[in-house]
Amino acid sequence: MLAKDLISDEIPAIRTSDTAVEALNWMEVFRISHLPIVNNKEFLGLISDSDIYDVNNPDEPIGNHSLSLIKPFVKYDQHIYEVLEIASRLKLTAVPVLDYEGNYLGIICISDLLHYFAKLSAIEKPGGIIVLEVTESDYSMSEISQIVESNDAKILSMYINTLPDSTKLEVTIKLNLTDLTSITQTFNRYQYHIKESFMEYDEQDDLYNERYDLFMRFLNT
């Protein structure tokens, strides 16, 4: 997906003739902390709520104030990953989108971006999560996939995180099964270090109850 596909149809840009109070009202309506200032199609910069709080007379037009505006933006055909990177690095709640002539096209709200990544990561789908810790030299995506699929499961999403000051990787796997027992056992047989695993609560409760019942039956024999 590209930046142009997530441009909001609702969040307006403000003009230099708008007041700081009007800008703050729009921020409260859309629950964001940044708004673009645009005259015609020219993007002048992002104003934040902290900028507005520093304004001496918030009822005057924004153009009357001396503001040190930041000017982050993405082009309309940049990948969503690049939008997320700039939003994360600059701690933005909204990212402006421009064309190659520098014309303002719209803005991407961080909440819409996170909602998209939730779908992309299969977070909304039921399933368990396994976090492996492996050395870089031992990492094999094909082997991990083979272990999962040998247990009649599918990988819905997988992310790799490099651990600081280490040669190890943290591999997070989202699966389409909630009962991870057989899969974790197989990973253990292949001598993988399982750092964490998460089942849905109902599945975990059923598993613990089943094991408790088996243990009690063993004691009563």
Tell me the pLDDT tens digit for each residue of 28-83.
Answer: 999 999 999 999 899 999 999 988 888 778 888 888 877 778 999 999 999 988 99
Domain limits for position 84: 3-118
Calculate the dihedral angle through the C-alpha atoms of 57, 58, 60, 61, rounding to the nearest 10 degrees.
Answer: 140
Cα–Cα distance, 155 to 148 (Å, whole number):
7
Domain finish residue from 99, 118, 137: 118
> What is residue 101's three-state secondary structure?
coil
Asked whether residue 124 is assigned to any structural domain, the reply reads no
- pTM score, whole prediction: 0.67
Q: Which of 84, 118, 152 is the last residue of a domain?
A: 118
Structural domain contains residue 26: yes
Q: How many domains does the chain have?
A: 2
Q: What does the mean pLDDT of the chain come to? A: 86
189: pLDDT confidence band, cut at 50, 70 and 90?
Answer: very high
Residue 180 in any domain: the answer is: yes
Q: Do the domain assignments include residue 195? A: yes
CATH number at residue 208: 3.30.70.260
